[in-house]
Structures are given as C-alpha cells and as structure tokens.
Amino acid sequence: MRGGSHHHIGYQRDDRFIPCHHHPALLLEMVREPGLDDHKALRHTGLFPDDLLDTSARLSPRQYLQLVHNIRRLHPDPELGFRYGQTLLPGHYGAISTLLGNAAHLDQALITLEDYQPLITPLLAPRIIRTGEYCCVQWLDSCGAGNEYRFLVESMMSALASVTRWLSGGPLPWTFQFSYPQPDYPEHYQVYLGSQLYFEAQMDAMLIPAHYLNQPWPRGSHTARAVSEQQCQEQQLALGCDTSLVHQLYLALIERIREPPSLDTAARELGLSPATLKRKLKHHGTHFQDLLDRARKHTALHLLQFYGYNSEQVARYLRFNDNTNFRRSFKRWTGLTPSACQQLVDRAMTALKPL
C-alpha cells in the first residue's frame, strides 16, 4: 500500500493493494471471447494485458471499479454480475480461499469474510449482525462504488449464496433484502439467489435463522484452517488495515451511535485534520453527515426489524428528545414513516420464521 504512515486509517480509493490475478482477472475471464480485445476492457484502468498474469501487479479500488464499468458497458447482459459472483468464492486467492473453503460451519465462514474483508471482498464490506434468533449479513459500499454498486451487490450476494450452498452441501434458506427497487430482470435474482426477495427494503442484506450458523459443514479441516488463518493474519498485517477508511468510520459511528463523535473528534482520533478527513470522504463520494445518517438509519432499522422495538423505543435509544423530531429524521433517512417501514420489514421477517 501507498503512504506507509496512513495504514491505520484504512485503505482508500487510490491505494493499490487488490491483486490483479484475483477478482479482476476472474471478471475479465468471464467475458473474454475470441475477437474481443482486452485493451477495450482495460481502458482508463492504467492496466496492461500483461499485468493480469503478473502475480505482483496490484489494483486500486478505483481501477477495479473502472474495470467493472468498462466490462459492463461492453457486455450489458444483466446476468453477468450473478455469474461472476458464482465464481468468486472461495476462489483461488491462496490462504484466504483455504480458510474460507475449510469453514466448519456458516458462522466461521461469515467471521472469515468479516475479519479478512480486504483480502476477499475489497469493494463491498459485509457486516454481520447476530440477534439471537436471526443472523443478518449486510453489504456496505466501502469505497464509493457509485453506479457500479448494484452490480457489486448482485455479485457478492450471488457469491455468498453459492459458496454457502456448496460448503453446506445444500441450499440455505436465505432471505434477501435490497435498498433499490426491483430491476427489470427479476429472473436472475430468482434463479441465482432464491425466491425470498424484498426490494425497496432500505438495506442490502441477507438474512437467515440463527440455528443455521452452527450446523456442521462436511468440508471443514481444522489444520488447514489454523495454518491458513496465520497466513491471512500476516497478509492483513502487511496491508496495515482491516477495512477501508469509509467503512472504518461507519463502524466507529455505529459503535457510539448514542453519543456520536463530531467531525473534529473523529478526525482527531484518526490522526487527521478535519479538513483532510473532509477531503478524503469527498473523494469517496460521501461526507461525514451522510455517514452518520447512514449509521443511524441502519441502527434504527435493525432495532425495528430484529429486536422488535417500536418507534418510540428507537427514538429513545437514539437519544432523540421527542418523537416528532425522530419521525422527521427517519423520514429523511428512509423516505418512509417509522410505522410504514415497520410494516415493510415485517413482511421480510415473516418469510424467515421457521415453518
């Protein structure tokens, strides 16, 4: 990574650390056919065809996003993201693939994804929420994906659904929830993900009843895990961070959501000046208030959806002085009133209830 002294603040858009021969090469392979020139797909990425075979070549998140953009323009087939996703995990990325491929149960697989996120899903960060009854894997934009965000969600959800089906030896009853409206190609969602799909549901997440977390999987090897885990730790140590700047700040805000720090405090804790933090966030297509709103919105949603809180309880938890104030803020975050939102998430939750 670039700029050795900045490691602890998380990786950024222009840090070159994504191995070319991992995800990017897989994506190119999906669309490579006789007659198609790699040069077109690599335009403005700063990459050359030879880099794809060079195991030391690295891409920044920005370059990887540019590659996704180019390939989607050359191949507008909406199935691409889902097919690409199926090939992503556990992948052939060395230690991290061994670690994931030898998970003893779903929980271990999810912990692996979360702990070593930069090594295996650099553009979209998973956040795992365990509520006792349910487990929720929420996918979050870690580097400002912009127009490529939906493609990334499609591919990572398809990746996790496929790898857990393979490792567990059968399909798992995931329920899928999306922040965006249903695209005009629902068939790919149905076939690659499953039939429990909820669009316009405020967040991009995969839900499953908690008792699936610890059901033993047939492939897990303890020794292989122990060795590869050590290698992953070393790789992440060399990288100097365990997530992106944006995601790290988001998580820090979530952690102290009842008394969130100001921009100045947050910047000081990262060892940056407020102006620098502002500039860096802007470079990732976001700003401090936007991240704070996102963290509060997601907290409110989780409380409503998983913990059975009502609107007043959520308002009290988030330390709003009065309910009207909370309703106004909630409407600004989600476009819905808390009760309308409650009804919406209840539909997804009934699908999760054991038969």
Sole binder of another protein in the list 63, 86, 138, 244 (CB under 8 A): 86
Q: Scan residues 136-165 and list those touching another protein (CB under 8 A).
A: 162, 165
Please write down the HEC assignment for all residues of 218-268: CCCCHHHHHHHHHHHHHHHHHHCCCCEHHHHHHHHHHHCCCCCCCHHHHHH
- Which residue, 193 or 292, is less far from another protein as judged by CB? 193
Minimal distance in Å, beta carbon 355 to another protein? 11
Mark residues 161-180: x for contact with another protein by CB under 8 A, - for none. Answer: -x--xx---xx---------
187 binds another protein (CB under 8 A): yes
| Residue whose pair of structure tokens reads 């009760």 in the numeric block | 339
Q: How far apart are CA 128 and CA 139, in angstroms?
A: 9
**209 versus 261: smaller Cβ distance to another protein:** 209
Q: How many CA atoms lie within 13 A of 161 on its CB side?
A: 27
Is residue 37 near another protein by the rule CB under 8 A?
no
C-alpha 156/C-alpha 128 separation (Å) is 14
Residue 54's φ and ψ, nearest 5 degrees, are -85, 115
Pairing of strands 124-130, 175-177: unpaired
Q: Does 182 bind another protein (CB under 8 A)?
A: no
Greatest extent of the chain over all pairs of C-alpha atoms, in Å: 64
A 10 A CB-CB count for 41 gives 22
Which residue number, 4 or 170, has a Cβ lying nearer to another protein? 170
Query: Would you say 18 and 24 are in contact if contact means Cβ atoms under 8 Å apart?
Result: yes
Residues facing 127 on adjacent strands: 138
Shortest distance (Å) from residue 270 CB to another protein = 41
Does residue 102 belong to the site contacting another protein (CB under 8 A)?
no
- Contact yes or no for 199/178 (Cβ under 8 A): yes
Q: What string of DSSP letters covers 277-343?
A: HHHHHHHTT--HHHHHHHHHHHHHHHHHHHS---HHHHHHHTT-SSHHHHHHHHHHHHSS-HHHHHH
Q: Does 190 bind another protein (CB under 8 A)?
A: yes
Least separation, in Å, of the C-beta of 118 and another protein? 25
d(CA 116, CA 95): 11
Q: Which is nearer to another protein, 50 or 77 (CB)?
A: 77
- Closest CB to another protein among residues 81, 118: 81
Closest CB 187 distance from another protein, rounded Å: 4
User: Residues 30, 128, 257, 272: which binds another protein (CB under 8 A)?
Assistant: 30
215 binds another protein (CB under 8 A): no
Q: Which of 38, 79, 107, 293 binds another protein (CB under 8 A)?
A: 79
**CB 77, min distance to another protein, A:** 6
Smallest gap from Cβ 92 to another protein, in A, equals 12
- 29 binding another protein? (CB under 8 A): yes
Residues that bind another protein (CB under 8 A): 29-30, 77, 79, 82-83, 86-87, 162, 165-166, 170-171, 185, 187-188, 190-192, 195
